[in-house]
Amino acid sequence: MPAKKPRRRGRLIVIALVMLLVAGVGYGAYWSISTVRASYPQVSGELAIEGLTSAVAVQRDANGIPQLYADTPEDLFRAQGYVQAQDRFYEMDVRRHLTAGRLSEMFGEEQVETDAFLRTLGWHDIAQREWDEQLSDETKGYLEAYTAGVNAYLAERDGAELSVEYAALGLVNDYEPEPWEPVDSVAWLKAMAWDLRGNMQEEIDRALLAQRLGPDEIEELYPPYPYERNAPIVAEGASDGATGQGGTEGSTGLGDGSTGLGDGSTGLGDGSGDASGIGSAYEDVSTQLGALTRTLDEIPSLLGPDGSGIGSNSWVVSGDYTTTGMPLLANDPHLAPSLPGVWYQMGLHCNEVSAQCPFDVSGFTFSGMPGVVIGHNQNIAWGLTNLGADVTDLRLEKLEDGNYVIDGRQEPYETRTEEIRVAGGETREITVRTVDGRPIISDRDEQLAGVGDSAPVDTAAPDRGEGYAVSLSWTALTPSRTMDAVFGLNAATDWEEFRAAAADFAVPSQNLIYADTEGNIGYQAPGAIPIRGEGDGRYPAPGWDSSYDWTGFIPFEELPSELNPERGYIVTANQAVIDEDAYPYMLTDDWSYGTRSQRIADLIEQTISDGGMISMTDMQSIQLDNSNEMARNLVPYLLDVEISDPYVREAQELLVGWDFTQDADSPAAAYYNAVWSNLLQLAFGNKLPKELRVEGQCLLVRPADESQPIEDLDGNTRLVNECGERSPETAQPDGGDRWFEVVGNLLEDPENAWWSTPATRTQDAAENRDQLLARAMRDARWELTAELGKDIDTWSWGRLHRLMLNNQTLGTEGPGPVQWLLNRGPWNLAGGSDAVDASGWNAAGGYDITWVPSMRMIVSLDDFDESQWINLSGASGHAFHANYTDQTELWADGEYLPWPHSADAVAERTRDTLTLTPTNTGG
């Protein structure tokens, strides 16, 4: 629950100060040992657990990774709940309060606005409906067993015995954890879906850009996917008989004539034929959408920052091209760094695998959720990356007198009341309004209340009155059976069973890759992906026109799928799934642009075409590849620029002979990335509206209100100081591979207007490409001199590019000593944005790392015991436990741990064994 805004600091600072006392800093030393160690789990001996039918063995290796062995699935998941609570209950508790919109109960009034927004979305309510209406009885039984295991642990402990954080909370409020409920586990899937929800931010950003840029300029910043250069995932056919219509033909904006929002034929435009459907007169609506962005920024990011950079890698190679003669499969999801890390490693084994007890699975899961999310069982392996399908639409709504307008008539909207309990404060009450199942998200921000006050509309649109509201259509607001899919994947034994499980995987929509011990490899795109009537989801749509409603979801059998492609490998790295000309449905226009995926494919092809075979070592090398593919294009242009200043030329010469790798100790990588950051700021960043720029970064600009004179009485241009409003993690230009594509398209057009930038006190204006590149190189030289020193030989990329692991609730707040107490780092890392080794950073917000390969795994289908894995942090969520960050140094150095699967291999690595026994044995 990373806190982002200053107003949250009050209660968390108090808690942080108490934490210093708890840990023995200052005059609280008498609490240090007993309080910190009170929550450490028992890992050996015996413990009696109510409800078990037979003993369960919990075998932990030196890294604290548990492998569980039971006779029944109910016993297995009961033990999983108990063990995860041992290691991570505080994290589980924070997660369930977030998904339920109840953070204020733990952390006070600073969280009320976040809770109000999350209550409006209704994650927990949807999870409850899934429990009531959708999930199978078998899944419910597993969830109930898991819940009983968590509660068995809670029955034994409270306060500091659960986690040291509770000792601090107990001194500032009377908070005590409630029993776990099955819906608490189901709701976590909604949080996953929110963080991986697709192009909602891009939809907002394009609307915001319209207040300053023309439609052609906006399209230049969102270029089409380069299918001719970067292959989509499915390249040898579409799906199992995909047919039908996507419902998007002929609609690129918010309206088309009489049913849209525009006053001409192009949506919200000003009648000038804007292809984007957004005109300059959209300024007031854009301002309100900027307020929505700030509201979204307030929501803790559980998995990663919004924006084009976030992604993941996975690939699988057929045994025809591997040294083992069987498939090799790799996966490394790129998510936000946190402490503890988002993943939890675990093995779940039935002592005898049978129809009654089908689980022999290990891999990565989430604390608070039963089963394994990514990993392998005795027959198959699978990995996940975000598909990025467009599963959200913003809708402008006309509301008045308890009604909403739809197709020229008024219908009553629905309301419900939510109470938000506040630790140390008064209970708050909010009213949530919904229109045809769409929550009105503009109610959660005062600045959003007047959305559309002066939006241009045509005569067919409803009168604006006091303005339009903003609602949200989102697939995750429809109850689904994704939790059924998790258990289905865990037990699947072949391709058909794998696909049957994938059919239930509704949200978030993912790329699923597959391999099995029979030598097959495959790909399946699952998920609830909407079919639109009008519109294409690129801009907010008119809620009062039902022709823009979703007409259904793409049938599972028509989603892209591939089995044993002739090329012998499958790569997914958030690139386009399938060529749009070969597929009748629209998935999204906002793909990652294929830089990582094509680099992975090229490295595989390079080995295969040379007659070689892919080994486990090769899979590691690909996973750790840190080449900067944009640099291959840009560096020749940088070296062609004549630099007269010898001080700047000295830095420029670092790029001569550079191999484009971004090692942590590389001076050239440090300089190149600084040049890239400055280039983006000069060419694009300073031209974007304040809602997209980094908060606190201010520019003198022409006034946004064009009705005011832009010259003073003396004829001088009047400028206003305009400051950015976006968090550093989500500001633009973020430098990801969308910007690789944007800049790459402009390099052959040296006189393009984007290359111009005005003069400053120390720099002449740039009027073309080479002048702007020269200025970016100069600015980067001086920036790194200030950051790293005058001697370029001492520069290194890792000194700029640092990773901090911050405690999820207290690590970004409070006084400096808290860094020592709960946080860990920094680590100086290699890699970069949209390198395969994607230690991502936001070029608009600085060089610090904002997303990482949150784990790495490589599975050998020839011998599962030869597989390898590594986690970002460690198994434990207890701040001073030996397994808190014991894997991080290995992870940072690109090393792996052995991943045992067979009983013998697990036994060989076991250091501690805890036996959980039924209570009636007296154990």
- Cα dist. 766→23, 772, 773 in Å? 55, 5, 9
Provide the angle, in degrees to the nearest 10, between the axes of the packed helices 482-491 and 182-195.
Answer: 100
Residue 408 CB neighbour total at 10 angstroms: 9
C-alpha distance across the termini of the chain, in Å: 38
Chain centroid offset of residue 317 CA: 26
Tell me the two tokens of residue 410. 């008024």
Q: Reduced to 3 DSSP states, what percent helix, strand and coil does the chain have, rounded to the nearest 5?
A: 35, 20, 45
Strands 392-400 and 541-542 come out as parallel
Q: Report helix, strand or coil for 335.
A: strand
Tell me the two tokens of residue 199. 């192009």
Contact, 110 vs 11, CB < 8 A? yes
DSSP symbol at 428: E
Strand positions, DSSP E, 110-181: none
Query: Where would I find the H helices in 280-362?
Result: 283-298
DSSP symbol at 135: S
- Cα dist. 667→466, 671, 673, 720, 778 in Å? 57, 6, 10, 39, 16
Q: Could you tell me which of 602, 676, 670, 667 has the C-alpha nearest to residue 635? A: 676
Strand-pairing partners, residue 724, are: 695
Q: Report helix, strand or coil for 643.
A: coil
Strands 428-435 and 344-350 come out as unpaired
Under 8 Å CB-to-CB from 682, ≥6 apart: which residues? 757, 766, 772, 775, 776, 779
Contact, 564 vs 278, CB < 8 A? no
DSSP symbol at 578: B
Residue 757 CB neighbour total at 10 angstroms: 21
Q: Report helix, strand or coil for 54.
A: coil
pLDDT value of position 261: 28
Provide the angle, in degrees to the nearest 10, between the axes of the packed helices 629-640 and 595-609.
Answer: 100
Q: What does the alpha-carbon distance between residue 915 and residue 46 come to, in Å, rounded to a whole number?
A: 5
pLDDT value of position 806: 86
Provide the angle, in degrees to the nearest 10, between the axes of the packed helices 667-683 and 629-640.
Answer: 80
pLDDT value of position 705: 55
pLDDT value of position 190: 87
Chain centroid offset of residue 906 CA: 32
Residue type at 8 in one-letter notation: R
Tell me the two tokens of residue 12. 């968390």
Q: Could you tell me which of 320, 379, 867, 230 has the C-alpha nearest to residue 569? A: 320
Tell me the two tokens of residue 595. 């830089």
Q: Could you tell me which of 534, 209, 210, 541 has the C-alpha nearest to residue 396? A: 541
Under 8 Å CB-to-CB from 804, ≥6 apart: which residues? 337, 823, 824, 825, 826, 848, 849
Helix (H) or strand (E) holding 914: strand 912-918
Q: What does the alpha-carbon distance between residue 723 and residue 718 come to, in Å, rounded to a whole number?
A: 16
Q: Could you tell me which of 160, 336, 88, 164 has the C-alpha nearest to residue 875? A: 88
Q: What is the pTM of this model?
A: 0.90
Residue 412 CB neighbour total at 10 angstroms: 10
- Cα dist. 450→226, 399, 445, 453, 678 in Å? 39, 11, 10, 6, 37
Q: 353, exposed or middle or buried, with CB in 10 Å at 0-12, 13-18, 19+?
A: middle
Strand positions, DSSP E, 123-252: none
Contact, 533 vs 549, CB < 8 A? yes
pLDDT value of position 36: 75
Q: Report helix, strand or coil for 129.
A: helix
Tell me the two tokens of residue 781. 């030289």
Residue type at 60 in one-letter notation: R
Summarised one tens digit per residue, pLDDT across range 492-537 is: 999 999 999 999 999 989 999 999 999 999 999 999 999 999 988 8
Tell me the chain's radius of gyration from C-alpha atoms: 27
Q: Could you tell me which of 871, 801, 795 has the C-alpha nearest to residue 829? A: 801
Residue 592 CB neighbour total at 10 angstroms: 25
Strand-pairing partners, residue 313, are: 332
pLDDT value of position 193: 82
pLDDT value of position 18: 55
DSSP symbol at 432: E
Strand positions, DSSP E, 554-612: 561-563, 569-572
Dihedrals phi, psi of 553, to nearest 5 degrees: -125, 150
Contact, 489 vs 472, CB < 8 A? no
Q: What is the mean pLDDT of each run of 10 residues along the chain (923 residues)?
A: 41 56 45 74 97 98 98 98 97 94 91 91 95 98 98 93 83 87 95 78 82 89 96 74 33 27 29 32 49 60 49 96 98 92 97 98 97 98 94 89 93 96 93 95 61 44 74 93 98 98 94 98 96 88 93 96 97 95 92 96 95 97 98 98 97 98 98 98 94 89 58 62 88 95 97 94 92 98 98 97 83 51 90 96 95 96 98 95 97 98 98 94 44
Most distant CA atoms of the chain, gap in Å: 94
Contact, 117 vs 100, CB < 8 A? no
pLDDT value of position 237: 52
Contact, 261 vs 430, CB < 8 A? no
| Count of CA atoms in the C-beta half-sphere (13 A) of 851 | 30
Summarised one tens digit per residue, pLDDT across range 566-600 is: 999 999 999 999 998 889 999 999 999 999 999 99
Q: What does the alpha-carbon distance between residue 532 and residue 728 come to, in Å, rounded to a whole number?
A: 33
Dihedrals phi, psi of 512, to nearest 5 degrees: -105, 120
Please name the residue that has the structure tokens 């690939």.
Answer: 315
Q: What does the alpha-carbon distance between residue 506 and residue 554 come to, in Å, rounded to a whole number?
A: 11
Q: What does the alpha-carbon distance between residue 474 and residue 120 come to, in Å, rounded to a whole number?
A: 13
Q: Could you tell me which of 672, 596, 673, 662 has the C-alpha nearest to residue 627? A: 662
Q: Could you tell me which of 46, 168, 63 has the C-alpha nearest to residue 873? A: 63
